[in-house]
Structure 1
Amino acid sequence: MTETLLHAAAAAGVPLDEAEAGLRRATEALLGLQREDGHWVFELEADATIPAEYVLLRHHLAEPDDPELERRIGAYLRRIQAAHGGWPLFHGGAFDISASVKAYFCLKMIGDDPEAPHMRRARAAILAAGGAGRANVFTRILLALYGEMPWHRVPTIPVEMVLLPRWFPVHLSKMSYWARTVLVPLLVLQALRVRARNPRGVRIPELFAARRARRRRMRTHRKPGWAAFFNTVDAGLKLAEPLWPEPLRRRAIARCVDFVTERLNGEDGLGAIYPAMANAVMMYDALGYPPEHPDRAIARRAVEKLLVLREEEAYCQPCVSPVWDTALVCHALLEAGGEPATAAATRGLAWLKPLQELELKGDWAAWRPDVRPGGWAFQYRNPHYPDLDDTAVVVMAMDRARDQLRLGRNYDEAIARGAEWTAGLQSRDGGWGAFDADNIHHYLNNIPFADHGALLDPPTADVSARCVSMLAQLGEAQDSPRMRAALDYLEREQAADGSWFGRWGVNYIYGTWSALCALNAAGLDGATPMVRKAADWLLAIQNPDGGWGEGCESYRLDHSGHEPAPSTASQTAWALLGLMAAGEVDHPAVARGIAWLLHNQDETGLWPQEAFTGGGFPRVFYLRYHGYPKFFPLWALARYRNLRQANHTRPAHGM
């Protein structure tokens, strides 16, 4: 599409036949990606950290050599090395010392010559940043496992903490689900001072500065008083640890093993996330479980299922996203309409239905024991850890299909149980976290172990907005106590410029799209000040080319706002969906955004996108959802067509 056409679109709107043609091509492409059993799953890519850790895990365990796999992972790591010499946390990002140390160690382990140009550049960048001793806690733990760093350089969390009562200030139940599953097997590794086998004997002393790095500056997310207190506690624990009673230690280790084994989750793995899975395998190995032991074997197979293998490259995903992908694709296809699309969405929803957890009360029940289970996980299976975001999105898709496709009562029970579980996990402040209620013990982010600042799962605007959307779509009155509390929460969370922070997507565009959909579903129109401010903000940050973009750098600790970046397909779609939820379908900016999507649609009918627009841990871990530029733009095109054809200004659904 030429610049002339972009201007024409701004003046008169995109012709519906052009939007329809682009929509048809995208729908056909997406239908071709549906799996035989009805679901969709797309690659979920992070930075260099996890592929490097995967290789180092194999050498930790002294597993048989696999030169071909190492060749492909090496090719991947070399390709994503940045011009600054190291590895970033997201495409085009700044140097990150922890990712760079692991990537360098991995490449050296698989045979790259330390004097090769790419290795020399990486080493120079690492040393210029203070050397491997400046890496984060998880990297220093890996270095301790390999004997590259003494264990006393790692924060001490005694394994005996698992025996503490729940009222104790530092307790597993007060941490996020990901912290629990990663930490418990790690406690055993730390208690036993485990040493990697490392059969090739590869070492990386060259990554450490000649002089020991100065004490690491306090992380900016910490409070000086709390940090000083916990640092003092850490020093005391280091002195006391050798005096710990051996029977108590054995009991604590047994409790850790029980925790992990109960939550092994088959071949979907502990917590269904790579770090927890890998730590579980190393824990069983450290305790003498042979490779063929059923628990160790299934834990190891779970890790293997995260690999993405291509002819010339390979990498390891942090987890997989089939429920999330399938539910969102179903929304997009229901919006697109037509028999092939709705038939495919029906098959996708049928695949989702039996994945609802209706029996097991997971860790969330520690704080909500009277709530019945009813959620969906992000992954194929993760019954101890369903999440509220997925559950709300699945429920809304099923409810929409129930109405649009006249599916009778097939989904009534699933919808009711999902809504009941979601409502039951509303936090006291009116919002929702991703996995737990009231996970707000913020002092825990000051413990030395928590240098990533993401030990907790507090309510966030994006997840809360999705839950509001679900309740409103199901008919919850705007003035009901829980809806009033939720809307008040969103109003408090709105930034002065009109945007909302997006915890799980990058960032203010994602959060604002989520909130606008929720407010529309709850019956607040464009004249409402909260909605008007948000729509005006989206209009103000549109790029000159007609699209929208935002960089991962916007995850500053002070939440100081949107970071301009080149337009991306997924962020353009979010902005468009947000504006249409605010009643702005006829605004020239929406027409220019739709024109941008049509102009950037590739020959496959979909959209290219290398940018990371998913959030893992702000400032620490980011995600590239390969599905986002495939289904979100389709969704935006379909909504634009539908609203224009029907001469409506706002959508009728929660998303």
Structure 2
Amino acid sequence: MSATLSRHKIDATAVEQAVKASHTALGKRQKEDGHWVFELEADATIPAEYVLLRHFLDRIDEPLEQKIGVYLRRIQGVHGGWSLYTDGKFDLSASVKAYFALKMIGDDINAPHMRRARAAILQHGGAERSNVFTRIQLALYGEVPWHAVPVMPIELMLLPRKAFFSVWNMSYWSRTVIASLLILVTRKPLAINPRGVHVQELFKTPPAQVKDWIRGPYRSIWGRLFTYLDKALRPVVPHIPRSIHAKAIRTTIQFVEERLSAGGLGAIYPSMANVVMMYRVMGVPDDDPRAVEAWQAVQDLLVVKDDEAYCQPCVSPVWDTGLSGLAMMEAATGPKAVQNAETMAALEKAASWLRERQILDVKGDWAINTPHLRPGGWAFQYKNDYYPDVDDTAVVGMLLHRMAPEKNAPAIERAREWIIGMQSSNGGWGAFDIDNDLEALNHIPFSDHGALLDPPTVDVSARCISFLAQLGHPEDKDVIRKGIDYIRKEQEASGSWFGRWGTNYIYGTWSVLCALNIAGVPHDDPMIQRAVAWLESVQNDDGGWGEDCASYEGAPQGVYKESLPTQTAWATLGLMAVGRQESEAVQRGMAYLTQAQDEAGEWHEAPYNAVGFPKVFYLRYHGYKQFFPLMALSRYRNLASSNSGRVEYGF
């Protein structure tokens, strides 16, 4: 499609009706205390690990596990195994865990779905070729020997920041997962496994006969070197002096317990589950307050429905509230706004809920690189004070500024100060840390997932630029300029930008176009022109946009078998940000959104729309398909009735 003006206008009445219906539907989903939270779904891995955790501890819950079994069977792929996202290819490690969990639940291994899964696993190399985290799960059950796992001595926790293998050079999620995991790897416990379930039938080679547990494919010469180092360390580790070993254990436990809260360690499932197992291995009684809190944090991740259940990887209330609030705010502004006292009161409740959760008195792990920076960010979850992120902080900051800049000034200023202080040396922003980009660490045997780090990314950087530019402080111009220079260098040859935390190039490109607009980059800048041309080139015949998670694995950018409300909203928001609201592409996108909306004012889509770690772990935000289309339709309506025709906000 070209960027020429539309030859026909979409029916304004249809847009207005869609906005009103969506605004009402989203408003009904707000919690009594003012926040929004939607389900956050991953693949079969987390629900399967949750079942294995219960059997490790002998805390079996038969009715709950039967519901999880229903969920696991439902999402089994046509290839016989389990994928990492909707319609994805077979994934060996997810399939091994799902099969193990179903067998734990009581599924007959000769049932058709179990036979198909087993055949697919064996066809793809067997359980011996699963990834490191899966082999650790298998080692906990005695299915593989502990030497099937890379060497990870607990003494790593003693290394200072400047040491190459220091945990402080790793991302927050790696740090929290590894800390309690090191206790398990050191103690080498064996699961209680009260039903005596084993999965030796998943191995092509008996585990005792496997000679090459630690092997490639290697992404660089570093991988080969680190494999030799792994072999060299094995005979050395048992001879580390007991005093150093004991100190490492104490340091690890101190690290974990300083960061424990009602949200669990790091507020993400893998680290939370490891803490639960750690306490059991250390002999801490289940009724000890620490163990109780750790266990409850895991239970809070469950989504239990009438007929099935699953475990979320984490929860997203701050993110959902910030984005829902921005969508509701967009609907509540403009000449034809859905504005009333009830809406504004609801938004104020959301703002109040968010203000209460700003982290102002905890210097988290981010402070290891910026010890003099005051805290001022928001975390993604309900409670995760050691690990705020700049992406959530920027979104919340933009909402508070748009609602009431004077009333929210103290919170906004602390957020601004923190985000500026979190800028990396290359001008971009990582999500949780500064300059967390020691790439060689992604080549150690433990990091076969290749996601040990939190380097700067375009989408997060764009959000930070949007926030700072929306505030408009003249003294922030150099910070914004450095960020834009980083973004300019990162543009793909196609004209798009990579989306690290959302699927994928449509997400990244939308994020950047919003930032470039509010930062004042002229709309005729060549990088904007290339991005617009790319977005319009991947629009579908029905007027919508869609993108496959397979684009993280080399599939074409911005392409999917069907259009999706979330992707369409991102694409049209990006185009409208740079003055294309009257283009044929945007008109057709608006028509798609109005036609795809149901009678209740909501949208439906099954595909995953975000990513935890590209190629390894994908996410489905259930709220995206509700608040992003509302934001896009409201933005279109507001621009159509605006004198300036320009987007004045950073999102």
TM-score for both structures, normalised by structure 2 = 0.96
**Contact map agreement 2:215 2:227 (CA 8 A) in 1:** no
**Contact map agreement 2:497 2:509 (CA 8 A) in 1:** yes
1:117-196 → structure 2 map (5 Å cutoff): 117-196=112-191
Counterparts of 1:240 and 1:560, CA distance in 2: 47
**Contact map agreement 2:36 2:321 (CA 8 A) in 1:** yes
Show the counterpart of 2:335: none
Show the counterpart of 1:406: none
Q: What is the deviation of 1:564?
A: 3.6
Q: What is the deviation of 1:342?
A: 3.0
Of 336, 353, 356, the match for 2:355: 353
Show the counterpart of 2:242: 246
1:453-464 → structure 2 map (5 Å cutoff): 453-464=450-461
User: Deviation per CA, 1:546-580, whole angstroms, max 9, x where unpaired?
Assistant: 10000011113x79744444211111000000000
Secondary structure, counterpart of 2:612 in structure 1 = strand
Secondary structure, counterpart of 1:81 in structure 2 = coil
Show the counterpart of 2:376: 374
Q: What is the deviation of 1:245?
A: 2.2
Show the counterpart of 2:296: 301
**Contact map agreement 1:525 1:583 (CA 8 A) in 2:** no
Of 537, 541, 544, the match for 1:544: 541
Counterparts of 1:635 and 1:33, CA distance in 2: 16
Show the counterpart of 1:502: 499
1:29 paired with 2:25, answer yes
1:275 paired with 2:270, answer yes
**Contact map agreement 1:585 1:650 (CA 8 A) in 2:** no
Higher mean displacement: 477-486 or 298-307: 477-486
Show the counterpart of 2:434: 437
Secondary structure, counterpart of 2:235 in structure 1 = helix
Counterparts of 1:121 and 1:183, CA distance in 2: 34
Show the counterpart of 2:404: 402
Show the counterpart of 1:4: none
Q: What is the deviation of 1:249?
A: 1.6
Q: What is the deviation of 1:221?
A: 7.1
Of 308, 316, 329, the match for 2:311: 316
Q: What is the deviation of 1:115?
A: 0.2
1:482 paired with 2:484, answer no
Q: What is the deviation of 1:247?
A: 2.6
Secondary structure, counterpart of 2:641 in structure 1 = helix
Secondary structure, counterpart of 1:590 in structure 2 = helix
Show the counterpart of 1:421: 418
Counterparts of 2:556 and 2:596, CA distance in 1: 30
Secondary structure, counterpart of 1:187 in structure 2 = helix
Higher mean displacement: 496-505 or 226-235: 226-235
User: Deviation per CA, 1:182-235, whole angstroms, max 9, x where unpaired?
Assistant: 0000001001111111011100000000466784796567212x1122111111
**Contact map agreement 1:554 1:562 (CA 8 A) in 2:** yes
Closer/same/farther in 2, CA of residues 209 and 525 from structure 1, 3 Å limit: same
Q: What is the deviation of 1:10?
A: 5.5
User: Deviation per CA, 1:507-530, whole angstroms, max 9, x where unpaired?
Assistant: 000000000000001012321111
**Contact map agreement 1:87 1:95 (CA 8 A) in 2:** yes
Show the counterpart of 2:336: none
Closer/same/farther in 2, CA of residues 109 and 161 from structure 1, 3 Å limit: same
Secondary structure, counterpart of 1:11 in structure 2 = coil
Of 76, 82, 103, the match for 2:77: 82
Q: What is the deviation of 1:97?
A: 0.5
Secondary structure, counterpart of 2:581 in structure 1 = coil
Counterparts of 1:617 and 1:56, CA distance in 2: 23
1:507-518 → structure 2 map (5 Å cutoff): 507-518=504-515
Show the counterpart of 2:56: 60
Secondary structure, counterpart of 2:509 in structure 1 = helix
Closer/same/farther in 2, CA of residues 248 and 526 from structure 1, 3 Å limit: same
Secondary structure, counterpart of 2:510 in structure 1 = helix
**Contact map agreement 1:270 1:277 (CA 8 A) in 2:** yes
Of 96, 105, 123, the match for 1:110: 105
Secondary structure, counterpart of 1:544 in structure 2 = coil
Letter paired with 2:391: D
Counterparts of 1:559 and 1:373, CA distance in 2: 40
Q: What is the deviation of 1:246?
A: 2.4
Letter paired with 2:266: G
Counterparts of 1:183 and 1:284, CA distance in 2: 15
Report sequence identity in percent: 55
Letter paired with 1:367: N
Q: What is the deviation of 1:363?
A: 0.3
**Contact map agreement 2:68 2:310 (CA 8 A) in 1:** yes
Counterparts of 2:512 and 2:548, CA distance in 1: 20
**Contact map agreement 1:516 1:581 (CA 8 A) in 2:** yes
Show the counterpart of 2:203: 208
**Contact map agreement 1:476 1:483 (CA 8 A) in 2:** no
**Contact map agreement 2:148 2:213 (CA 8 A) in 1:** no
Counterparts of 1:479 and 1:48, CA distance in 2: 44
Q: What is the deviation of 1:12?
A: 1.3
Q: What is the deviation of 1:11?
A: 3.1
**Contact map agreement 1:27 1:341 (CA 8 A) in 2:** no
User: Deviation per CA, 1:372-426, whole angstroms, max 9, x where unpaired?
Assistant: 00000000111100000000000010000015xxxxx321100000010000000
Letter paired with 2:88: G
Q: What is the deviation of 1:536?
A: 1.1
1:548-627 → structure 2 map (5 Å cutoff): 548-556=545-553, 561-627=557-623
Aligned length: 638
Q: Aligned Cα RMSD in Å?
A: 1.6
1:492 paired with 2:489, answer yes
**Contact map agreement 1:127 1:209 (CA 8 A) in 2:** yes
**Contact map agreement 1:580 1:649 (CA 8 A) in 2:** no
Letter paired with 1:354: E
Q: What is the deviation of 1:649?
A: 3.2
Letter paired with 1:42: F
Show the counterpart of 1:3: none
Counterparts of 1:467 and 1:346, CA distance in 2: 23
Show the counterpart of 1:450: 447
Secondary structure, counterpart of 2:303 in structure 1 = strand
Show the counterpart of 2:633: 637
Show the counterpart of 2:260: 264
Q: What is the deviation of 1:99?
A: 0.5
1:47 paired with 2:43, answer yes
**Contact map agreement 2:160 2:168 (CA 8 A) in 1:** no
Closer/same/farther in 2, CA of residues 117 and 303 from structure 1, 3 Å limit: same
Closer/same/farther in 2, CA of residues 17 and 221 from structure 1, 3 Å limit: farther
Q: What is the deviation of 1:156?
A: 0.8
Secondary structure, counterpart of 2:542 in structure 1 = coil
Letter paired with 1:412: A
Letter paired with 1:534: A
Q: What is the deviation of 1:648?
A: 3.8
Gaps in structure 2 of 5+ consecutive residues: 333-338
Letter paired with 1:193: K
**Contact map agreement 2:148 2:214 (CA 8 A) in 1:** no
Closer/same/farther in 2, CA of residues 200 and 216 from structure 1, 3 Å limit: closer
Show the counterpart of 2:389: 387
Closer/same/farther in 2, CA of residues 119 and 158 from structure 1, 3 Å limit: same
Counterparts of 1:187 and 1:273, CA distance in 2: 17
Letter paired with 1:500: W
Counterparts of 2:507 and 2:287, CA distance in 1: 45
Closer/same/farther in 2, CA of residues 606 and 571 from structure 1, 3 Å limit: same
1:283-294 → structure 2 map (5 Å cutoff): 283-294=278-289
Of 183, 194, 198, the match for 1:199: 194
Show the counterpart of 1:628: 624
Counterparts of 1:146 and 1:363, CA distance in 2: 33
